[in-house]
């Protein structure tokens, strides 16, 4: 059995049988059997089914949020915002799938002018989705909603820490659509081995959200069958505060980005580079806000416990290492860590080659460094193996700074707006991942283009792809080609 616990108290929440390779294969087979009926529903039928599901998620959000609060630990309002953002994506995918994925006729080119050329986007088939525990609804939903809207069926393996949430979410689809056959969206339960069984089960695509280390293992396993993957992995996101920033607003956004969800946010700010001339004022604003935060699981808590108990040790290691190597604690320190809760920690001048600056800490911590100018901030922000997202605070130069950042997404004068805008693709560069979810790119990623060229009529004597081709045809082709392309200066 796999058992989940309340992240704050350690009390059991629920237990499920662990699915091994045989059970996973049976669920994938049922998902394959359901692909035909799901495709036959067409874009309109699928849209209705997805919107009925969205309605159920909204109408029963209190139940789902209570489960998120227990298994993940975040406050109920944060849980509700997670559900709302997931529903925004679900609705966008449902509404836009037809427009983005409908067949497109393209110009066949002069040589093939007697053909009709069409691109039809086909769903991959069965998509295996493997999810993390930090945003247990929002993150897998970013794959599941788009995969389903594109006409795939889905087998979802939630994190073993948030199995109950995963099952609730999946069961809500069936409950909202009792007339549909089983297998359009199903869940399998268990630890990493169950995820591995899903990758090796012969599914037609894998959409993974989780750590970079697991992402690499999944990509290697998927390579055995050349199964396509989209990998949404870790990050070490930087915020840049320019000298023309609204410092109060920047501090507000950065504190939320770094500390909300106990800092367990893939696109949470972990590093902050501030132009030296505004450092003192910025730190005053930052400290004022950090001081007001209290972790806990009561209704007044600013954020919850650390969900993954072993992550507390990683936070402690990063903080200790930074302090031993010259960083100073602007706020909090080793004493702030009282598992399962970690009070905010802000470190000044942690060395750029320390683990606290280079590796994902995934706790309510922030490193802050003064920089000479925005150019230095950009250089340091980009000097990371990760490249998930970033944020920029500047009244006048936000867009120009954003364009210089090596990341999949950037928000200007707000913490993580791109994640809540369904039309924007989401995903990282470097060790933060490969491929995109969300937006039109997300829908397209859950399909493969099928190119169809139909000969509308034959042109006598002009058959090029034939042994019956004549010399005069070739001579004509040579002349036309020289005219069309041979005159560039």
Residues near ligand NAD, by CB under 6 A: 130-135, 139, 157, 159-160, 191-192, 195-196, 199, 209-211, 214, 217-218, 232-235, 266, 308, 360, 362, 388, 428, 433
- CA 401 → CA 46, 278, 374, 377, 393, distances in Å? 41, 17, 8, 10, 9
Q: Could you give the 3-state DSSP secondary structure of residue 434?
A: strand
Q: Looking at beta carbons only, is 414 or 432 nearer to ligand NAD?
A: 432
Alpha helix stretches (DSSP H) within 353-410 = 355-358, 374-382, 398-403
* Of residues 215 and 398, the one with the C-beta less far from ligand NAD: 215
Rounded to whole angstroms, how far apart are CA atoms 301 and 396?
Answer: 36
How far is the C-alpha of 430 from the C-alpha of 383, rounded, in Å?
11
Q: Is 232 a catalytic residue?
A: yes
Minimal CB distance to ligand NAD: which residue? Answer: 195
Closest distance to ligand NAD from the beta carbon of 23 (Å): 15
Spot the catalytic one: 82, 160, 232, 285.
232
CB-nearer residue toward ligand NAD: 177 or 269 = 269
For the bound state, the minimum distance from the C-beta of residue 64 to ligand NAD, rounded and expressed in Å, comes to 18
List the beta strands (DSSP E) in 350-480: 365-371, 386-387, 389-393, 409-412, 429-430, 433-434, 447-455
- Identity of the residue, 218 or 327, whose beta carbon is nearer to ligand NAD in the bound complex: 218
Structure tokens at 121: 């986007």
Q: Report in angstroms how near the CB of residue 163 gets to ligand NAD at its nearest.
A: 9
Least separation in angstroms between CB 448 and ligand NAD: 23
Nearer to ligand NAD, 371 or 443 (CB): 443
Does residue 458 contact residue 114 with C-beta atoms inside 8 Å?
Answer: yes
Q: If you compute the radius of gyration of the chain from its CA atoms, what whole number of angstroms results? A: 26
Q: How far is the CB of 189 from ligand NAD (least distance, A)?
A: 10
φ, ψ dihedrals at 227, nearest 5° = -70, 125
The H helix count followed by the E strand count for the chain is 16, 22
Catalytic residues, by residue number, are 232
């Amino acid at each position: 059995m796999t058992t989940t616990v309340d992240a704050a108290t350690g009390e059991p929440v629920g237990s499920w049988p662990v699915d091994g390779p045989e059970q996973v294969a049976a669920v994938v087979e049922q998902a394959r059997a359901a692909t035909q009926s799901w495709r036959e529903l067409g874009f309109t039928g699928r849209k209705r089914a997805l919107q009925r599901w969205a309605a159920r998620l909204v109408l029963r959000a209190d139940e789902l949020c209570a489960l998120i609060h227990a298994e993940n630990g975040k406050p109920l309002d944060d849980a509700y915002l997670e559900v709302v953002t997931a529903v925004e994506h679900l609705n966008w995918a449902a509404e836009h799938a037809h427009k983005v994925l409908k067949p497109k006729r393209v110009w066949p080119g002069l040589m093939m002018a007697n053909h009709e050329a069409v691109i039809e986007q086909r769903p991959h088939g069965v998509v295996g989705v493997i999810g993390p525990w930090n945003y247990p609804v929002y993150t897998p939903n970013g794959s599941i909603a788009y995969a389903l809207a594109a006409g795939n069926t889905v087998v979802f393996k939630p994190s073993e820490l948030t199995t109950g949430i995963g099952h609730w979410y999946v069961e809500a689809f069936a409950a909202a659509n009792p007339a549909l056959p089983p297998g359009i969206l199903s869940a399998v339960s268990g630890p990493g081995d169950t995820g591995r069984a899903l990758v090796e089960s012969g599914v037609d695509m894998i959409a993974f959200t989780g750590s970079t280390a697991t992402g690499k293992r999944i990509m290697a396993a998927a390579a055995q069958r050349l199964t396509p993957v989209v990998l949404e992995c870790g990050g070490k996101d930087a915020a840049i505060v320019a000298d023309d920033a609204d410092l109060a607003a920047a501090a507000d956004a950065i504190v939320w980005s770094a500390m909300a969800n106990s800092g367990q946010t893939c696109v949470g700010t972990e590093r902050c580079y501030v132009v030296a001339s505004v450092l003192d004022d910025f730190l005053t604003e930052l400290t004022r806000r950090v001081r007001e935060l209290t972790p806990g699981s009561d209704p007044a808590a600013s954020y919850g416990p650390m969900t993954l108990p072993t992550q507390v040790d990683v936070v402690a290691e990063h903080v200790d290492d930074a302090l031993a190597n010259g960083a100073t604690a602007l706020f909090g320190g080793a004493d702030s860590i009282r598992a399962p809760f970690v009070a905010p920690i802000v470190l000044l001048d942690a060395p750029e080659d320390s683990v606290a600056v280079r590796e994902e800490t995934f706790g309510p911590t922030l490193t802050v460094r003064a920089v000479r100018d925005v150019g230095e901030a950009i250089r340091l922000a980009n000097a990371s193996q990760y490249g998930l997202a970033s944020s920029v605070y500047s009244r006048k130069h936000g867009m120009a700074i954003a364009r210089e950042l090596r990341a999949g997404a950037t928000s200007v004068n707000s913490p993580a707006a791109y994640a809540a805008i369904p039309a924007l693709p989401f995903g990282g560069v470097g060790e933060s991942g490969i491929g995109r979810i969300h937006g039109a790119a997300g829908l397209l990623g859950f399909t493969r283009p099928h190119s169809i060229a139909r000969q509308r009529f034959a042109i006598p004597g002009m058959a090029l792809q034939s042994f019956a081709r004549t010399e005069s045809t070739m001579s004509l082709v040579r002349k036309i080609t020289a005219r069309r392309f041979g005159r560039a200066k």
